[in-house]
Amino acid sequence: MVYNLNDKTILLTGGTGSFGQKFSEVVLKEHAPKSIRIYSRGELMQLQMDQKFKNENLRFFIGDVRDKNRLKRAMNDVDLVIHAAALKQVPACEYNPIEAVKTNIDGTVNIIDAAIDNDVDRVMLISTDKAVHPVNLYGATKMVAEKLIVQANSYSGGKKTRFSCVRYGNVIGSRGSVIPLFLEQRKSGTITVTSERMTRFWLTLEQGVQFVINCMHEMEGGETFIPKIPSMSLLELAKAIAPDAKIKNIGIRPGEKLHEILLTEDESRHTTEYEKYFVIEPEYVSWQKKSLPGGKKPADDFSYTSDTNSSWLTRDDLIRLVGL
């Protein structure tokens, strides 16, 4: 069931990014929100987004998630918060580690405090597979952000504010995705892959948005939602995008994994599996928590990884999704 966004005031951090733009497009088209507040640092991107949408229900707030006072003002009378703002580029986070911590961790703390102080109904963090067994600083900060959001329910206490997470893999065509890089490289006749064995989970921006909206309906507070999505090897991805191009193997980059993990064996012990997604329930519950109905327990040694996935994208699937 889809969460009713009609007449709701939504705050979207990092709202000018790929997810924020698609979320705004989908919600304004399929729902009737009272307002979507775009909260981000870049005035130029806000101007461009305003000119693109031309919708009076879209409002723009210049602000940084590091600024708690600004967040508190922006969350005044807000019903829902979707926290998508983050420093995401792995090399940039490694080179500027303290800045990554200030935005991805301290910024999440500010989101929690501002939401509770404003009696926001629901807060959803957009997380990433990089948060699972992190091998780089970006992943480590998102792992901490997940745990902060889950346990923020204990700070909310008797208040109505509830916090949950959505964790998924690579988004087709988003900023930083390898697909735009491959599309550009095929002009030269050579595509570079870091490993021919490498696999990744994939979903479209629209699928990501719809999953977040659905989870806003399901959440009770403290869950981490993981969609069941297909995998594809990087080699097959390259061949699908540029079948006639030469493939050059350049080796795995620092801070990169060979395969992705969305759900670990340890997490599976407190996970429930549903038809289209998994739900990781919190291990430490100090608040009144309802368990989601239905579902089944996965095997004790189950893990959800991109190389052992039961669902795989075909070349035709990718061409259809990317619009090649």
Which residues are identified as catalytic?
130
Distances in Å between the alpha carbon of 244 and those of 36, 186, 187, 191, 315? Answer: 44, 9, 11, 10, 14
What are residue 123's phi and psi, to 5 degrees?
A: -130, 130
Specify the length of the chain in residues: 324
Determine phi and psi for 35, rounding to 5 degrees: -165, 145
* CA distances from residue 248 to 11, 186, 199, 245 in whole angstroms, order as listed: 43, 12, 16, 9
